């Protein structure tokens, strides 16, 4: 006797970077013999293109606008229709998360709905806007069964603001595919790699200023910045003003990050806030030591002085000193990198992440009387 496949609907709105990669890695390891999968995402997203290689996954287009838009009503209607045949709905990120959870409320499917914020929306805002976003999260938390945060820090932030109930939360750290980063490291001496969107939260300007501090002590040092975004022009001006144009390469958006990591002496992330950055886990999987700010979930995945170095956020001096330590002691850097890969294999592979997430899908399908479900949630019996 065959068991019917679980019908899984995934909704994800971001066009690039961590969320599409997370969902792609999730789908690569979900067993198609157990799950019939549909994905709603923008046509222009990286995820849509990557799904070309997964013909068993059905794709449905939604709009890519991050801000409220007229198209939201059409997307909501489409999600509500798709939910009709779904056993589990998993929404990723703020915009798709709100629309999918509202659709679950309209359908009476709150017990089938799982939500992953990938960094709370109010972290990127301030003042009245941040309070408004937090209010939306408090309201829509009642329309889903489980909130999956990618770090304990993210979970605490939600609970402290009264978003959902503590029993709704599950922490599942991000995972990466170690085979994608399995090439033997061949680091170029003095090469530092920054991977991330050129936008305020990632603070690429701090990495550039740190390189300016290091220029005299390490005349051969080179900072490569892989990524693009709205701050590129401002970053180019800063590089020119600091007179380090020969020390910094703006590589733009790249699809060969594993190769870039294999040639790096260390990877740097200077963010003001993070949930559980994939770039850090990717560097560790590539056996590259990490220099990162001790914010959000980063201290949960980087052990200071074991597989990387943690510094205070906003500190150019701290960033420069940590990079200098690794450049000046390449054997120590290689040992940290090797430990990082061992730690990823032990705790942070995408297969391990998927095992934990699909266990939550099984809970939603069984729908037991459980503290996960908030009192009065729409769809509760």
Mean pLDDT by 10 residues, the chain (381 residues): 80 88 92 93 94 93 82 92 93 94 92 94 89 95 96 97 96 95 90 94 96 94 96 97 96 94 97 95 97 97 97 97 97 96 96 94 72 34 23
**Cβ atoms 176, 348 nearer than 8 A:** yes
Helices (H), 215-328: 232-242, 257-262, 278-285, 298-301, 316-328
Domains of the chain: 6-175+349-366 (3.40.50.2000), 178-347 (3.40.50.2000)
C-alpha dist (Å) from residue 260 to 103, 165, 226, 263: 41, 42, 9, 5
Buried b (16+ CB within 10 A) or exposed e, 342-364: ebbeeebbbebbbeebbebbebb
- Do β-strands 88-92 and 35-41 pair in parallel, antiparallel, or remain unpaired? unpaired
**Cβ atoms 231, 200 nearer than 8 A:** yes
What pLDDT does 372 receive? 40
- Phi first, then psi: give them for residue 159, nearest 5 degrees: -65, -40
C-alpha–C-alpha distance, residues 298 and 154, integer Å: 11
What pLDDT does 78 receive? 94
What is the number of alpha carbons within 13 Å of residue 29 lying toward its C-beta?
20
The contacts of residue 174 (CB under 8 Å, 6+ apart) are 18, 22, 150, 276, 277, 278, 281, 348, 353
The contacts of residue 376 (CB under 8 Å, 6+ apart) are 142
**Cβ atoms 153, 123 nearer than 8 A:** no
CB atoms within 10 A of CB 74: 12
What pLDDT does 367 receive? 65
- Reduced to 3 states (helix: H, G, I; strand: E, B; else coil), residue 15 is coil
The contacts of residue 284 (CB under 8 Å, 6+ apart) are 290, 301, 302, 307, 308, 337, 340, 341, 343, 344, 348
- pLDDT tens digit sequence for 348-373: 999 999 999 999 999 888 864 443 44
pTM beyond cutoff 0.85: yes
Looking up tokens 């180019």, which residue turns up?
236
Task: Cite the beta strand spans of 33-183 per DSSP E.
Answer: 35-41, 58-61, 88-92, 113-116, 146-149, 169-171
- pLDDT tens digit sequence for 284-308: 999 999 999 999 999 999 999 999 9
Buried b (16+ CB within 10 A) or exposed e, 193-228: bbbbbbbeebbbbbbbbbbbbbbeebeebbbbbbbb
Angle between helices 204-214 and 316-328 (to 10 degrees): 60
C-alpha–C-alpha distance, residues 85 and 135, integer Å: 30
What pLDDT does 17 receive? 78
- Phi first, then psi: give them for residue 103, nearest 5 degrees: -60, -40
C-alpha–C-alpha distance, residues 241 and 163, integer Å: 44
Average pLDDT over all residues of the chain: 91
- Reduced to 3 states (helix: H, G, I; strand: E, B; else coil), residue 349 is strand
C-alpha torsion sign, points 222, 282, 159, 23: positive
What pLDDT does 373 receive? 40
What pLDDT does 379 receive? 28
- Residue count (the chain): 381
What pLDDT does 200 receive? 87
């Amino acid at each position: 006797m065959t068991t019917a496949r679980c019908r899984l609907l995934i909704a994800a709105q971001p066009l690039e970077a961590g969320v599409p990669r997370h969902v792609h890695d999730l789908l690569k390891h979900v067993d198609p013999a157990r799950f019939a999968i549909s994905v709603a995402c923008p046509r222009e997203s990286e995820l849509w293109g990557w799904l070309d290689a997964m013909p068993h996954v059905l794709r449905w287009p939604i709009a890519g606008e991050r801000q409220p838009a007229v198209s939201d009503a059409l997307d909501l209607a489409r999600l509500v229709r798709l939910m009709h045949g779904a056993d589990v709905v998993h929404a990723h990120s703020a915009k798709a998360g709100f629309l999918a959870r509202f659709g679950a409320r309209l359908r009476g499917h709150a017990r089938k709905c799982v939500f992953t914020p990938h960094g709370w929306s109010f972290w990127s805002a301030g003042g009245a806007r941040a309070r408004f976003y937090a209010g939306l999260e408090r309201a829509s938390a009642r329309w889903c069964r489980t909130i999956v945060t990618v770090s304990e820090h993210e979970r605490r932030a939600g609970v402290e603001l009264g978003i959902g109930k503590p029993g709704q939360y599950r922490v599942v750290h991000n995972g990466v595919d170690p085979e994608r980063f399995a090439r033997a490291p061949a680091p170029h001496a003095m090469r530092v790699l920054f991977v991330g969107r050129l936008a305020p939260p990632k603070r690429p300007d701090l990495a550039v200023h740190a390189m300016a501090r290091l220029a005299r002590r390490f005349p051969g040092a080179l900072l490569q910045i892989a990524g693009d975004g709205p701050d590129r022009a401002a970053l180019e001006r800063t590089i020119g003003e600091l007179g380090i144009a020969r020390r910094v390469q703006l590589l733009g958006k790249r699809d060969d990050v594993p190769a870039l990591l294999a040639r790096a002496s260390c990877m740097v992330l200077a963010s003001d806030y993070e949930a559980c950055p994939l770039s850090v886990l990717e560097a560790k999987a590539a056996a590259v030591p990490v220099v990162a700010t001790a914010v959000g979930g980063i201290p949960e995945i980087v052990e200071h002085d074991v597989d990387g170095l943690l510094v205070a956020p906003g500190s150019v001096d701290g960033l420069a000193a940590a990079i200098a330590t690794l450049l000046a002691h390449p054997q120590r850097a290689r040992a940290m990198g090797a430990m990082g890969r061992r730690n990823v294999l032990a705790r942070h592979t995408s297969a391990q992440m998927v095992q934990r997430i699909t266990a939550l899908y099984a809970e939603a399908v069984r729908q037991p009387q459980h503290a996960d479900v908030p009192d009065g949630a729409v769809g509760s019996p």
